[in-house]
Structures are given as C-alpha cells and as structure tokens.
Amino acid sequence: MKIKKIQRSDCEINLALETFGDMWSLLIVRDIVYYGKKTYGEFLESKEGIATNILANRLAHLEQKGILVKNPCKEDKRKEIYTLTERGLGLIAVLLEIARWSVQHDPACTASHAWLDVLSGDKEEIDKKVRSLVQNGGSIFVGDGRLV
C-alpha cells in the first residue's frame, strides 16, 4: 500500500484512519501492547502472516506518523527496537475498544474468561494500567497466552 501524502479531509475520523486505519498498522500496535514484541523479526512472526515489504512499509509509516520510535537495542546495538510514542500509547484505548466490540459481536472470538473480566471493568482504569505496563516494557499477555 502506498503512503498517501495528501489527506483526504480534515475530519477527525479520517485523520485517524489515515494514520492507522489500514489492515495492518493496528496489528503491529497490538503486537507491542498484547505480546511485548519489539523487533522487525518478532512482528514478522505474527500469525497473520504479514509480507516483509508490507511490514517494512507499515513500520516506516508508523514512524513517520509519530506512533512508533525506532532505537538501537541496548543489549545488541545491531538490533533495532520499536516502541510506542505518547501518540502511540494513546492508541491503547482504541485497541481495547476494538477488543470489546469483537468479544461482544464476533462469535469467532475466543477470548479467555480472565481477559473478558478485564475488558468489562472500568475503561479509564484499564487503559491507565495497560499504558503503564507497556511504558515499562511489559505487555498484556505473557508467552503462553496467559494474562500478566
């Protein structure tokens, strides 16, 4: 997908969709927030099977839009790690609202009871908790799919 340089309109919904409203961008944000992924290689492994060129394009787009920031990994300078900016952390509330919609309206959704409990709690509170978790390098789920 080409990155459009000209915005279609200044409507707030359109502006947001031009930033993250494609089929892949929010999955990259999900990978960070849900699973703590940080590198190109980790994003590439996600089960949706993103193609290498689309992943590279989407990472560049999200960097350019100020959602992600890329830095050399402290432990291994040859590696680059992606983290969410303040603007990117703001997407956690959007992601959680999408999750709520899905568990309520998609019969194919297989969320665990523990996660459903979290999602049905106070919205502001959960958003704050998850944000703090992610800011400190954590994520909602651990390796085997259990909640942190």
Contact set with a second copy (CB under 8 A): 7-19, 21-23, 26-27, 30, 34, 46-49, 86-87, 90-91, 93-95, 97-106, 108-111, 123-124
Least spacing, CB of residue 70 vs a second copy, in Å: 19
Q: Which is nearer to a second copy, 21 or 41 (CB)?
A: 21
> Nearer Cβ to a second copy, position 44 or 103?
103
Q: Which CB sits closer to a second copy, 104 or 132?
A: 104
Q: What count of other Cβ atoms lies within 10 Å of the Cβ of residue 127? A: 18
Q: What is the rounded CA–CA span in Å between residue 44 and residue 129? A: 27
Distance, in Å, from the CA atom of 56 to the CA atom of 45, rounded to the nearest integer, reads 13
68: helix, strand or coil: strand
- Give 4-12 contacts, CB < 8 A, sequence gap 24+: none
The distance of closest approach from Cβ of residue 18 to a second copy in the complex, given in angstroms and rounded to an integer, is: 8
Which CB atom, from 73 or from 98, has the smaller least distance to a second copy?
98
Shortest CB 56 distance to a second copy, Å: 18
Distance CA 138, CA 42 (A): 15
Residue 110 C-beta: closest distance to a second copy, Å: 6
- CA–CA dist 99, 116 (Å, integer): 9
